[in-house]
């Protein structure tokens, strides 16, 4: 077993950094060392930003996004189209769609996808709130922007069944050949989906 080369406080910092996605033990050591070397320029402002985040960040009561205001910035933006609700599994998916500037609609974050093997059932998601929002007079379309995994598609089918009585159009993201994709490198499932969902040229 390797001997410790730093005090317990530094080792604790490294252990906490190693819990972040994309950082293993070696990357966490490098990050910790960089923070320590740049204490005034990085560590002090980071500490302050983390404290503000702890105190101010909250979950939007309308859509499930995280923000420093409630309802969130997206829900209160008057330029957003209130007739469209884009359903995502996680806040990271919402942020990805926003980075791509893919929609001008509002969002609904489920919190996860249905996964019986992991013990995630309908009661663990915000599906009831989504159904209630779908019945609002101004809503005309629900876009299911869920991952093309078994759990994502199971969740999409479950939600579609629940929305059958709402006066909304339920759509989902297209599946198939990505922009810049070469057929030879795609898996069989992607190719099959692309062939089934072909469109006019």
pLDDT in tens for each of the 201 residues of the chain? 455 667 889 999 999 999 999 999 999 999 999 999 999 999 999 999 999 999 999 999 999 999 999 999 999 999 999 999 999 999 999 999 999 888 999 999 999 999 999 999 999 999 999 999 999 999 999 999 999 889 999 999 999 999 999 999 999 988 787 778 787 877 887 888 778 877 777
What is residue 137's DSSP assignment?
Answer: T
Asked if 100 and 148 sit in the same domain, the reply is yes
Contact 134, 159 (CB under 8 A): no
Asked if 84 and 166 sit in the same domain, the reply is yes
Domain total in the chain: 2
Asked if 33 and 97 sit in the same domain, the reply is no
Domain that holds residue 20: 7-41
């Amino acid at each position: 077993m390797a001997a410790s080369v730093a005090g317990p406080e530094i080792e604790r910092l490294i252990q906490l950094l190693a819990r972040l996605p994309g950082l293993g033990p070696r990357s966490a050591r490098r990050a910790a060392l960089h923070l320590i070397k740049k204490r005034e320029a990085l560590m002090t402002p980071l500490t302050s930003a983390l404290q503000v985040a702890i105190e101010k960040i909250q979950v939007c009561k309308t859509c499930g996004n995280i923000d420093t205001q409630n309802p969130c910035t997206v829900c209160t933006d008057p330029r957003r189209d209130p007739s469209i609700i884009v359903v995502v599994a996680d806040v990271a998916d919402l942020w990805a769609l926003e980075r791509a500037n893919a929609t001008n609609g509002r969002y609904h974050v489920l919190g996860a996808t249905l996964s019986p093997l992991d013990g995630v059932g309908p009661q663990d998601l915000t599906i009831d709130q989504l159904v209630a929002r779908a019945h609002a007079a101004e809503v005309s379309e629900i876009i299911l922007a869920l991952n093309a995994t078994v759990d994502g598609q199971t969740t999409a089918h479950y939600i579609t069944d629940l929305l059958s009585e709402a006066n909304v159009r339920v759509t989902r993201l297209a599946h198939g050949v990505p922009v810049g994709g070469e057929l030879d490198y795609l898996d069989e499932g992607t190719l099959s989906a692309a062939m089934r969902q072909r469109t006019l040229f």
